[in-house]
Amino acid sequence: MSTAIASRTVGEIVAESPAAARVFERHAIDYCCGGNIPLSTACERRGAPLDKVLHELEEALATGPAADDTDWRRRSMSDLIDHIESTHHARMRSELPRARELIGAVVRAHGESDPTLHELAAIFDAFASELEMHLLKEERVLFPAIRSIEQKPAGSNANGGACCAIEAPIRVMMEEHDHSGEALKRMRALTNDFTPPPGACNTYRVMIDTLAGIERDIHQHVHKENNILFPGARAMTAARSAAAPGA
């Protein structure tokens, strides 16, 4: 694979080739909240050998897209929103309560001998509470606004009103994505990269697996919004405003 790809941002790479996400996940390279930096810089920060990552990317892309590797750049924003709601939002509404119960059980059983579990529980509770509100704000405010703008004919968004209507909520959502990303990093650190300790009981192992799954889903979810949906919505509103009479 040409080393020219090393100068492209990790977010761009995954947006163009979703299979690349699996390579970045293996190396703990952030392609969602931190997706706006070049691959070479991302590898340097993670201590991942650039040549090895490039080789793995070449292998992943040579196998062709998996069944779930839809190129969302070629679909409507309404299609992408439907996918985000039915896949990622639905999954979090199922997994967050489940993870709360698992963490509570592990804390009750092992919290006395491992005080870091109490910190893990506190971080997760704040993370989950903010994320639950975040999903509602997307569904009730931002997503309907993007759908509405997409359905309007070009030139109908005079005076930049549509752009103003989505810019503030996009900015808030991206800030909250950053908060979630930081919380996930702290949980990963507290759990030794989501690795159960020797002799861990089955509940502990299921808790770790559930947290790792939540992290993977959030990475995919945030990538689709930060690197595809939000830039697309901004570009669309700018184009419609520019085409408006008197613009």
68: in domain? no
Are the CB atoms for 99 and 209 separated by under 8 Å?
no
Residue with tokens 């969302």: 72
Query: 221 with 146, same domain?
Result: yes
pLDDT at 169: 95
pLDDT lower than 50: segments of the chain: 67, 158-159
122: in domain? yes
pLDDT at 159: 47
Residue 194 is given by DSSP the state T
Structural domain harbouring 34: 3-62
pLDDT at 66: 54
Query: How many whole angstroms separate alpha carbon 227 and alpha carbon 35?
Result: 8
pLDDT at 2: 58
Query: How many whole angstroms separate alpha carbon 99 and alpha carbon 210?
Result: 6
203: exposed, middle or buried (Cβ count in 10 Å: 0-12, 13-18, 19+): middle
* Total domains, the chain: 2
Query: How many whole angstroms separate alpha carbon 154 and alpha carbon 64?
Result: 36
Query: 23 with 93, same domain?
Result: no
pLDDT at 64: 58
pLDDT at 190: 96
Query: 95 with 170, same domain?
Result: yes
Q: What is the CATH number of the domain that holds 56?
A: 1.10.3910
- Length, in residues, of the chain: 247
Q: At what angle do helices 143-151 and 230-242 cross, to 10 degrees?
A: 40
C-alpha distances out from residue 127 to 4, 12, 32, 41, 186, Å: 37, 27, 17, 28, 11
Residue 197 is given by DSSP the state P
pLDDT at 124: 98
pTM: predicted TM-score of the whole model, two decimal places: 0.79
125: in domain? yes
Query: 32 with 139, same domain?
Result: no
pLDDT at 60: 80
pLDDT at 130: 97
C-alpha distances out from residue 85 to 32, 99, 226, Å: 17, 20, 15
pLDDT at 158: 47
pLDDT at 93: 97
Query: 49 with 139, same domain?
Result: no
| Beta-bridge partner residues of 9 | 38
pLDDT at 65: 56
